[in-house]
Amino acid sequence: MGGVSLGLIAFFFYLTTRLTSPDMVLLYGDLDPKESTQIVTRLDALSVPYSTRGDGTQVYVPSDRALSL
């Protein structure tokens, strides 16, 4: 019974976090560190949320903002 309760709590936690985080899409890829820094600085100035992946060579932004950037 406790395992089922724990499983349900974990499921709803996952569902809640998944629904509240925006879908991120690749804005730029295959960047060198200098380019990545410039892009991230500009996104910060525009208050655009972003994430970097691939050791900073890829910059992701929310899908609803990608086309306007």
Instruction: Give which of 24, 25, 26, 52 is closest to 38, Cα–Cα.
Output: 52
- Whether residue 48 lies inside any domain: the answer is yes
Residue 62 belongs to some domain of the structure: yes
Residue 35, domain extent: 23-69
What confidence tens digit (pLDDT) does each residue in 32-47 have? 999 999 999 999 999 9
Contact present, 29 and 45 (Cβ < 8 Å):
no
Rounded to whole angstroms, what are the CA distances from 45 to 14, 38, 39? 31, 11, 10
Please count the structural domains in the chain: 1
pLDDT tier at 64 (50, 70, 90 boundaries)? very high
Q: Is position 5 within any domain?
A: no
pTM of the model: 0.70
What is the mean pLDDT of the segment spanning 1-15?
A: 73
- Residue 19 confidence (pLDDT) above 70: no
